[in-house]
Amino acid sequence: MDISIVIVSLILVGSVFVPYYFFILAGNSEAKKLKTKYRAAIAKNNLKVSQMETWGNSFIAIDTHQKKLIFMKVYETECNEQLVDLSKIKETKIIQTKKSVKTKNGVNDLLEKLDLEILLVNGERIILNFYDSNQIYAEDFELKRIEKWKAIVFEHIKTVHTEERAA
């Protein structure tokens, strides 16, 4: 076999697979940066996380011992962190904002924004944004995710209020 054919073949194969390798490396380094920020926030608040979830640029976790919920959104220039005391929550609500779009097959509803509204006992409102169509991340089962976390928070609220009544 001619050596020049082998060299050309290696160059062609390399030109196809090397960019994929660099894309994977870039994605992994971004994910590592996000994990580092999440771990730093957990350590800063002295949390012992019992349940957590990450998606896109978002992170949510719960500490059942201290009865705290942490929610983070990491943007290019800033990091939005919210720490909520579960014992001070009165109720939670899911807020969906949809937009109707006309297509060939009729009218479809597109999800624009999805928030978990937390009402505290003192009347304060906390909004945890699970999805916003104006951000760079696509929709990724956020409705199921927000329903799951609403149920988790509700379960812990119920536990906290039961302990308060028993005491």
Quick one: average pLDDT of 115-141?
84
User: Virtual CA dihedral for 137, 138, 139, 141, nearest 10 degrees?
Assistant: -80
Answer whether residue 1 shows pLDDT above 70: no
What topology is assigned to 47-166 in CATH?
A: PH-domain like (2.30.29)
Query: First vs last Cα of the chain: how many Å apart?
Result: 85
User: 76 — phi, psi (to 5°)?
Assistant: -60, -40
pLDDT interval class at 12 (50, 70, 90): confident
All residues at 6 or more sequence positions from 165 whose CB lies less than 8 Å from its CB, including other chains: none
Answer whether residue 29 shows pLDDT above 90: no
Strand 79-85: give its sheet, edge to edge.
51-55, 58-63, 68-74, 79-85
Q: Which of 151, 93, 150 is nearest to 119 (CA)?
A: 93
- In the prediction, which pLDDT does 161 show? 58
Answer whether residue 164 shows pLDDT above 60: no
Answer whether residue 165 shows pLDDT above 70: no
Question: Residues of the chain with pLDDT > 70: what percent?
Answer: 88
Answer whether residue 8 shows pLDDT above 90: no
Answer whether residue 61 shows pLDDT above 90: yes
Length of the chain: 167
pLDDT digits (tens, 9 = 90+) for 75-119: 877 888 899 998 898 889 999 988 887 878 888 878 888 899 999
Name which residue leads in pLDDT, 68 or 18.
68
Domain spans, the chain: 47-166
